[in-house]
Amino acid sequence: EAGVTQFPSHSVIEKGQTVTLRCDPISGHDNLYWYRRVMGKEIKFLLHFVKESKQDESGMPNNRFLAERTGGTYSTLKVQPAELEDSGVYFCASSQIGENEQFFGPGTRLTVL
């Protein structure tokens, strides 16, 4: 069974540019989560999808971040325009409904110059 995959693994962009991160959850997992870890800090929750619906987006830092999960399969997280403080590792995780274990992807390392 394939795990959670994320693309790209690394992205380097300049301040003011736009970046889109993609997450493909484990097949059949209706729960999809985005987290991020900025330099020297702990992993922080961004938002949670159940299928295509946003269940909880309380962790989204501001309106420069837009997450979508059309069709309830893969998800994208767009940052527009990117700022220096957006640099970090963005993790995606998925789980089945009713299950506690969240399976994490390898993360996308975003560097904003």
Partner 1 sequence: QKEVEQNSGPLSVPEGAIASLNCTYSDRGSQSFFWYRQYSGKSPELIMFIYSNGDKEDGRFTAQLNKASQYVSLLIRDSQPSDSATYLCAVRRRNYGQNFVFGPGTRLSVLP
Positions in the binding site for partner 1 (CB under 8 A): 3-4, 31, 33, 35, 41-45, 48, 55-56, 58-59, 91, 95, 100-107
User: Nearest distance from residue 100's CB to partner 1, in Å?
Assistant: 6
Nearer residue to partner 1 within complex by CB, 81 or 106: 106
How many CB atoms are closer than 10 A to CB 50? 14
In angstroms, the CA 36 to CA 85 distance is: 12
Q: Residue 109 CB, nearest distance to partner 1 (Å)?
A: 9
* Rounded Cα distance, 46 and 26, in Å: 19
Closer CB to partner 1, 44 or 64, in the complex: 44
Cβ 105 to partner 1 shortest distance, Å: 6
Task: Look at the alpha carbons of 59, 48, 37, 9 in this order and tell me if their dihedral is positive or negative.
Answer: negative
Instruction: Pick the closer one to partner 1 by CB: 17 or 57.
Output: 57
Query: Cβ(36)–Cβ(88) under 8 Å?
Result: yes
